[in-house]
Amino acid sequence: MSGPTEIHRLIDRVHGRIFAHALAHALGVPRKWYALGQAERHYLSRDYQLQVNRKYRASLQGALLRSATREEWCIKRPELLAVERNPLWEVLKELASLRVDWDQRASTIMVNGQSVVAYRAAKRLWAYPSWTRLAYLLVLLRTRQPRYFLHRHAIGAMLVTYLALVCLEAPINHAAHDLFDVLSFYVANGPLDSGSYCWPADFSEFSKTMSLLQSGINVVAEREKRIARQSDVTALFWTMLSQGGGQFEWEDARARPVRERWRSAVLGFQHDVIAGPGWSTLASPRQTTAGAG
């Protein structure tokens, strides 16, 4: 990739893919251009079939729908605000900027009303793997003040694994390759220090990590049938990794209190209220639903 302009186009493609696939999920229709076209004609009263169909064929490939169209869909399906108002698009485009005061921006992030300057509050940001939280982790990685040293160290140590887990979930799994390419550009060009993150050499290597993690998630899903949501199963697996748990946790009856504590923690983390006052966009991190018009 040659420079910022191309990277910004790629970021828009990530945004476009995620919005289109989240839109199909919100509408309950197949992820097909004709289904989205029919939905637009029905919900937004469009009658120009050829243009609508072309638009959604392109959107599923990453063409970002016009902001006016996205706003109309957000009115019809408010859950899409989790995509449209997520700060990830803003953060990704500014990640290399020297004009942004990243330490000040980090100080505006709040978790359940507490500033993430406090490490205890910050840990909840990465306790539940979700693409809607990724922007906040990237902001913390760009800080420089000593008070964020532990934050940077913790996020750097688990960034690749966290990203791989996030990229397994809908709707961002449809844009995983592009997102990886964007972050790889920043790793290679300075804003993110590759030496700290053991960054994969390419997407093929990253995909192997994703496959390995998916195998672990499948084991958890088979054993923890009480957990219905796939994202919560992933979060429980992530908690086990973070806490050093293993197969014995199911087989050893003495570990039952540990299992119950992990389950309770996962259910608590998903309800965290995270916001960044003073940002131009805000996220609704609880929503993890799976912009050519």
Residue 239 lies in a domain: no
Distance, CA of 77 to chain centre:
19
Query: Is 76 contained in some domain?
Result: yes
φ and ψ of 274, to 5 deg: -120, 135
C-beta separation of 185 from 4 below 8 A: no
pLDDT by residue for the chain (293 residues), tens only, comes to: 557 789 999 999 999 999 999 999 999 999 999 899 999 988 988 766 667 778 899 999 999 999 999 999 999 999 999 999 999 999 999 998 888 999 999 999 999 999 999 999 999 999 889 999 999 999 999 999 999 999 999 999 999 999 999 999 999 999 999 999 999 999 988 888 756 678 999 999 999 999 999 998 998 888 877 777 788 888 888 888 877 655 445 555 555 655 666 666 666 676 678 877 555 443 333 433 334 55
Count structural domains, the chain.
1
| Distance, CA of 61 to CA of 175 (rounded, Å) | 9
Q: DSSP letter for 110, please.
A: E
Q: How high is the pLDDT of residue 243?
A: 72
pLDDT at 268: 67
d(CA 87, CA 196): 24
* 13 falls within a domain: yes
Residue among 172, 167, 272 nearest 209 (CA): 167
Domain assignment present for residue 196? The answer is no
Would 219 be classed as within a structural domain? no
Kindly report the number of other CB atoms within 10 A of residue 271's CB atom: 10
Q: What pLDDT sits at residue 283?
A: 38
Distance CA 230, CA 234 (A): 6
- Asked whether 176 and 137 are in contact (CB, 8 A), the reply is no
| Domain assignment present for 124 | no
Residue 272: its pLDDT value, please? 78
Q: How far apart are the C-alpha atoms of 137 and 155, rounded to whole Å? A: 7
Structural domain that includes position 40:
4-84
> What token pair was written down for 253?
């009856």
pLDDT for the residue 264:
67
Cis peptide before 171 (omega within 30 of 0): yes
User: Does residue 16 lie within any of the structural domains?
Assistant: yes
Residue 72 inside a domain? The answer is yes
Angle (nearest 5°) at CA 264 between 259 and 268:
150
